[in-house]
Chain A
Amino acid sequence: MSGSVFGALVAPLAAKLVDWGQLLNVVEAALLAGVGITAVFALVIYGSTRAGDLRRRAQPVAAGLNAALAVVSLAGVLAAVAFAVSVMLDK
């Protein structure tokens, strides 16, 4: 019964009142940016820490690759932050 009441009354009303498409955009953007920035920053830390370890073990090629990973990831984080601010400037 409660399911049919929801189907008959609440769902159409909610669909009419709420812009679900726009809310979905918020959800997608927030999840992508929140998880993405954190994950890419973790790669910065991973790359820089591993690069230091490998340099101490005299493995310059692997150290260089990890350092490159750290640099590219850091650039990614900074670009994401700059993009977020530029989106905000779109008044």
Chain B
Amino acid sequence: MHNDVILAIVVATALGFDFTNGFHDTANVVATTISTRALAPRVAVGLASLLNFVGAFLSLKVAATIASDIVDQDVITTTIVFAGLVGAIVWNLATWYFGLPSSSSHALVGGVVGATFVAHGPGAILGAGLVSKIIVPAVLAPVLAFLAAGIAILVVYRIVGRLAPGPVNRGFRLGQVLSGGLLALAHGTNDAQKTMGVITLALIANGNLSHGHGVPTWVVIASATAISLGTYLGGWRIIKTLGTRIIKMDPAQGFAAQSSGSAVILAATHFGYPLSTTHVISGSVMGAGAAKRLSAVRWGVAGNIVAAWVLTLPCAAIVGAAVYGVTRLFGTGSLGPIVVAGAALVLIGVVFARRLRQGAAITSTAQGAS
């Protein structure tokens, strides 16, 4: 009975995380489309929401990686998964509050690893999987996206550089509907699967599924719905940071950034790498800007984003470890997760209330940019 209550809390928390993932991350997908005025903000967000939902059904390889390649399934408990999720949500909220596009994916992995470390020591962490599937791709992905977008925009300028800017801009704005859609689809395939992986891990830990079992259909549908809703309802602060603060983009740069970002995410997803879509799109936006003119990138803002990237895994791990410790103060039953979940809800409410009070100007600026 206790275990089922904890499982229910874990599933609810995971879907809450998925919602915040959509709220926090998916805005990255539409930032360039809005910044270059290819689509109005509400249309861009609505389209991204729909395509994220569709994308979540396309692949399950990343979910398998999260469920089996990061921590030892034999020692995982639902309380560990819960603590990891809360660690990720708290870190996501903190970076969202300050408008920094950090990685929800790495926050999730960091939280689960931190909680597992405190519960069972380093032996329960699958170091090879963590290095191979998370850390190396984390370093590689933004660099790859930066290079791809940089080369792509140089090729574009070579091809259309002597044409009148009017038709070129109109053409690339139209193209951004396609590239933005592809990016949203790619995002749905990679990000929604992380929640699917965590819920599957919790179901295995609780004995509802056997080891190595695939992702149940209801988990896929629930995760797709949560990320899609999150996408639709949120993210204006991150849109502003990515769309206007890093660089001012022309439609060709926006198209290059989105196409390159999609290519990196889709290629990685195909091989089961749970990439940070935030890292990828930030890298491609910077690449598209730097290739045109190095000074076009606001390197101070970019530096803040890089700092958030570096801090995400360890900070989420520390929060996940702390949450696990606090949860265990109440014993091994369901009281700990109930108390912590209640406290987390209060924290979320306070943070949202504060941000909404301060956020009106930012929202109107982002909309005004359309």
Chain A residues at the B interface, C-beta cutoff of 8 Å? 16-19, 22-23, 25-27, 29-35, 37-39, 41-46, 48-50, 52, 77, 81, 84-85, 87-91
Chain B contacts for A89, CB-based, 8 A: 58-59
Which of B128, B132, B259, B270 is in CB contact (< 8 Å) with A34?
B259
A39 touches B136 (CB 8 A): no
A88 touches B270 (CB 8 A): yes
Chain A contacts for B58, CB-based, 8 A: 85, 88-89, 91
Number of contacting residues on B, CB 8 A?
Answer: 53
Any chain A CB within 8 A of the CB of B339?
A: no
Number of A-B contacts defined by CB within 8 Å: 139
The distance from the CB of B113 to the nearest CB of chain A, in whole angstroms, is 16
Which of A23, A35, A91 is in CB contact (< 8 Å) with B260?
A35
Q: Known: A34-B260, A81-B178. Contact between A49 and B128, CB under 8 A? A: no
The distance from the CB of A63 to the nearest CB of chain B, in whole angstroms, is 14
B168 touches A31 (CB 8 A): no
Within 8 A of A (CB), among B254-285: 255-256, 259-264, 266-271, 273, 284
Chain B residues at the A interface, C-beta cutoff of 8 Å? 55, 58-61, 127-128, 131-132, 136-137, 140, 144-145, 147-149, 151-153, 155-156, 159-160, 163-164, 167-168, 171-172, 175, 178-179, 182, 185, 189, 252, 255-256, 259-264, 266-271, 273, 284
B127 touches A17 (CB 8 A): yes
Chain B contacts for A85, CB-based, 8 A: 58, 185
Chain A contacts for B182, CB-based, 8 A: 81, 84
Which of B131, B144, B171 is in CB contact (< 8 Å) with A30?
B144
A sample of 26 cross-chain residue pairs with beta-carbon separation below 8 angstroms, ordered by A number, consists of A18-B131, A18-B132, A23-B136, A26-B144, A26-B268, A29-B263, A29-B270, A31-B148, A31-B151, A33-B262, A34-B263, A35-B152, A38-B152, A38-B259, A39-B152, A39-B155, A45-B171, A45-B175, A48-B167, A49-B160, A49-B168, A87-B266, A88-B59, A88-B266, A88-B269, A91-B60
